[in-house]
Amino acid sequence: EPEVTQTPSHQVTQMGQEVILRCVPISNHLYFYWYRQILGQKVEFLVSFYNNEISEKSEIFDDQFSVERPDGSNFTLKIRSTKLEDSAMYFCASSNAGESTNEKLFFGSGTQLSVL
């Protein structure tokens, strides 16, 4: 079965450094998402992306965050200047359809980001 692939599985960075989390969505999917889960808290929506632009973002997704689909296969999340509170498991997801549909999301295994 096709799957969403995330690399790396673990990322350790120093506070203030830039970090890029990478994802390869399922190949025929058109809608892409980032979610995160801080330890002991809920899984939270960050952003959705379609047709090379952000379609929806949460309050968490401020100017420090950006997303990009640099080629036909990768989808990245960049955090410009990491803070301690950015430490979390970051999940990438993709789907065949997006808003106003009930298409399910397929999630990757996540990247555990630790900011020291």
Partner 1 sequence: DQQVKQNSPSLSVQEGRISILNCDYTNSMFDYFLWYKKYPAEGPTFLISISSIKDKNEDGRFTVFLNKSAKHLSLHIVPSQPGDSAVYFCAPKETSGSRLTFGEGTQLTVNP
Contact 81, 64 (CB under 8 A): yes
The interface with partner 1 within residues 34-53 (CB under 8 A) comprises: 35, 42-45, 48
Asked if residue 80 binds partner 1 (CB under 8 A), the reply is no
Between CA 14 and CA 115 the distance in angstroms is: 6
Considering Cα of 19, then 24, then 28, then 33, what sign does the dihedral take?
Answer: negative
Q: Which one of residues 19, 77, 79, 93 is an interface residue with partner 1 (CB under 8 A)?
A: 93
- Which residues of the chain form contacts with partner 1 (CB under 8 A)? 4, 6, 31, 33, 35, 42-45, 48, 55-56, 58, 91, 93, 98-100, 102, 104-110
